[in-house]
Structure 1
Amino acid sequence: MSLPHRALVGPGALLLASRAPGRATPSAASVTISPPAPVTSPAATPAAAPVAAGRPAPPELPGQLPGVGAQLLADVPTGTRQALVVTGDGADLSTGRATLYRDDGSGWLAGPTWPARNGNRGWSADHHLGDLRSPVGVFTLTAAGGRLPDPGSRLPYDHDGGFTVAGTGFEGEPLAGCLRVDAMRELLRALDPALNPVVVMGDAASPAR
């Protein structure tokens, strides 16, 4: 099934619409291997800068999204600096966690983590409407909306009492590749369109591919 290119975020749930357009994974021919740096004598080696007492050096931030493997990383659009990484507890389970990351230029900094709920039957790499599973993949987050008033979303927000989605979830709620995150209002206020946010989601094994 071909999915659209966006996801709609609302106070009740995050409705996943479409896989983000992927970018080509670099080929082996494009990788440059540099020769080892020349060894300097101990006398020529500059002394390390002293660390102030009681002020340990800050930890090094990861250069890529933690827990996300090369296959899904290739689908993250260039220019993305904010990502909600959703990790399900299992392929056929409806529970998991969601962590909001931001690339501050020196690496991906982890923000808050919330409990998350996905489709009743778990996850699918080939999502179909009505299968009660959430799709594995990367989806852009460009708009928000719902039946409740705008809680302060930084994304464009469409307040409409007519919002509905075909399908039924584990609690009887409308569901079509849906994801529910605790503290959704907090998430809506944190997503910044200037950072080109995406959601990377799947069961525990899938995001690490």
Structure 2
Amino acid sequence: MRIAGGVRVVVAAAACGVLLTSCASGDDGGSQKGDGGSRNAGAGAKGGESAHAGAENPRRIPDVGDRLQSRIPRNSRQVVAVYGAGEDSAKSTVVLYTKSGSKDTTWEKARSWPAHNGKKGWTTDHRENDKRSPVGVFTLTDAGGVLADPGAKFPYTESVSMQAPHYWPKTHWHDFDYVIAIDYNRAKGTPPNDPTRPQGQAKGGSIWLHMDHGSGTSGCVSLSKAGMKYLLRTLDPKQHPVVVMGDRTNLGA
């Protein structure tokens, strides 16, 4: 078990039942069973390029309004922004912003990737199995996956219990090779597939960043394997990373 950058190896399959009712599932034609809590996110971008290049104020995350901007912790120096293409769209763009400058006052775009979110879009009142991703600002503290740690700075749990079942479509079999837990209705400091839901089962949970299978999820945010490896190797607990996610209307509010 690695607590601050090491590996938590969990081989038990006991958590598999939890996984099947959470982030991804192949039982409805290529969507994942992840839960969230809000509708709407920004526009997608092609070829991994950000659609938000012309930010007016480098001290703010582009296209994020005062409501969510104010929820970004002052000590955060890494923000993963998920810009959804629309309230009911499964397409989105993930952009990593980092603080720069000696006074840590300005944000710079580091990388961006095409991505997917909940197959039915976004919601500000996520419920179990609503197939929408939650809008909000959430901390990022724990990671893991079926594959060995690629060099993550987060505590990383390698576990076969995260393996997607093979009765799902083959396109989904590698969804959970790499996972970063989004701290929506979960206990921080636990493996991504820990079943604890502090706000209750009805609010959903197991909202992750994980590998993409080419279509919408059930609430998680998915991107390429290369993108996941980059985030795992770059996001650093010492930089207090958060994810800001939602559709364009809710992000800009």
TM-score normalised to the size of structure 1?
Answer: 0.65
Aligned-residue offset at 1:78: 2.7
User: Which of these residues, 72, 75, 78, is aligned with residue 79 of structure 1?
Assistant: 75
- Aligned pair 1:192/2:236, yes or no? yes
* Contact 1:61–1:106 under 8 Å retained in 2: no
User: Alpha-carbon deviation of 1:65?
Assistant: 1.2
Mark the CA change 1:196 to 1:17 in structure 2 (over 3 Å): closer, same or farther: farther
Partner of 1:181: 223
Q: Does 1:109 align with 2:114?
A: no
Aligned counterpart in structure 1 of residue 89 of structure 2, from 70, 78, 93:
93
Equivalent residue letter for 2:233: R
Q: Which has the higher helix share?
A: 2
Cα 1:61–1:67 shift into 2, 3 Å? closer
Q: Is there any run of 5+ residues in structure 1 with no aligned partner, and where? A: 1-7, 20-59
Secondary structure of the equivalent of 1:177? Answer: coil
In 2: Cα distance, 1:164 partner to 1:84 partner: 25
Which string of whole-angstrom CA distances, capped at 9 and with x for unpartnered residues, describes residues 90-141 of structure 1?
1111111111001121400111010111011111111111111100001100
Q: Partners in 2 of 1:16 and 1:80 — Cα distance?
A: 25
Q: How does 1:1-209 map to 2 (within 5 A)?
A: 62-104=58-100, 105-163=104-162, 177-182=219-224, 183-209=227-253
State the distance in 2 between where 1:18 and 1:141 align: 16
Contact between 2:63 and 2:252, CA under 8 Å: does it hold in 1?
Answer: yes
**Partners in 1 of 2:66 and 2:105 — Cα distance?**
20
Aligned-partner residue type, residue 120 of structure 2: R
Greater radius of gyration (CA) = 1
SS at match of 1:207: helix
**Counterparts of 1:79 and 1:92 in 2: how far apart (Å)?**
33
For 2:53, the equivalent position in structure 1 comes to none
CA contact (8 A) 1:129 1:177 kept: no
Q: How many residues align?
A: 155
- List runs of 5+ in structure 2 lacking aligned partners: 1-22, 24-31, 39-55, 177-216
Q: CA deviation at 1:61?
A: 6.5
Task: Report the Cα distance in structure 1 between the residues aligned to 2:245 and 2:78, rounded to whole angstroms.
Answer: 14
Q: 1:201 to 1:112 in 2, by over 3 A?
A: same
Moved beyond 4 Å, runs of 4+? 15-19, 171-176
